[in-house]
Amino acid sequence: MFYKRREAEAQGQETWLGRRTLTHGRRTLLCEFRNQAGHTLREHSHPHEQIGYLVAGKIVFTIGGQRHLAEPGDSWCIKADVPHSAEALEDSVVIEVFSPVREDYLP
């Protein structure tokens, strides 16, 4: 399966969040997130393992009660069901992989 970026539609549940599902298979899903500076993603958890890479910006993550400052080039892995939250300190671009596939993120 191959997707061109211009064909992946941006989706967002709120005005601050731009989420683009780039591609997916049977077991994994790849997304791009664009967050505005100042946005806080409240603590939550889900049954999906989440691996991410910060392309641009700065974000403070709290993962399982530990705070981490992410800068461009940093990456993370959040295990399934671990509570986590985030605060964008700058406008940010994040690439993340979810496994299993997040049905709610399918185009």
pLDDT tens, 45-79? Answer: 999 999 999 999 999 999 999 999 999 999 999 99
Predicted confidence band of residue 14 (pLDDT cuts 50, 70, 90):
very low
CATH pick for 16-105 out of 2.60.120.10, 3.90.380.10, 3.40.50.300, 3.40.50.1000 = 2.60.120.10
Residue 45 tokens read as 């958890």
How many CA atoms lie less than 13 Å away from 1 in the CB half-sphere?
8
Strand (E) positions, 1-107?
A: 10-11, 17-24, 29-35, 40-44, 49-56, 59-63, 66-70, 75-78, 84-88, 92-99
Is residue 52 within 8 Å of residue 75, measured between CB atoms?
yes
